[in-house]
Amino acid sequence: MGCVLFPIERERGLDSKKTIMQFRETASIYLQIAEFICEKILLKAWKVDERIPSVRELAMQLEVNPNTVMRTYEFLQQQGIIYNQRGIGYFVGADAIKNATHYRKTEFMDTELPALFRNMYLLGMDVEELKPRFEKFKKQNFSF
């Protein structure tokens, strides 16, 4: 699904932060927010059993309608990525990393790989050409 989300945290008032997201026109906003939440979980910014922002909090941060965030949360609950504790809020599920990985991997293979493979074929590229660039990317972006 190709996340072109550019979350940028900036101060807003005293203690609140706003995350600016550049949404793609080719995908539903609630699914793009789901990708964003999955990314937070996969990068371990949000940990298992940790409370995540409420529907209203996230809607304000992302400047979207609360109904859109609610739809995202319902979708992620169905995927087993988050769960609701009635009256308390939403939390990262015990199997969130496994389920988020499965969800994102399936989306990637179904929606992004066909276009990548088509371009590779048209350009006469081989998968082996991608390995050095992928390793460089990991080193630059995920070496903690």
* Beta strand spans in 59-113 (E): 82-85, 89-92
Residue 20 pLDDT > 50: yes
Together in a domain, 92 and 121: no
Together in a domain, 55 and 121: no
What is the SS3 assignment for 41? helix
Could you tell me the residue range of the domain that residue 24 belongs to? 1-98
Together in a domain, 124 and 78: no
Together in a domain, 90 and 25: yes
Together in a domain, 24 and 73: yes
Q: For the chain, what is the domain count?
A: 2
Model-level pTM? 0.78
pLDDT tens digits for range 71-116: 999 999 999 999 999 999 999 999 999 999 999 999 999 989 999 9
Together in a domain, 19 and 89: yes
pLDDT at 1: 41
Together in a domain, 31 and 91: yes
pLDDT tens digits for range 126-136: 999 999 999 99
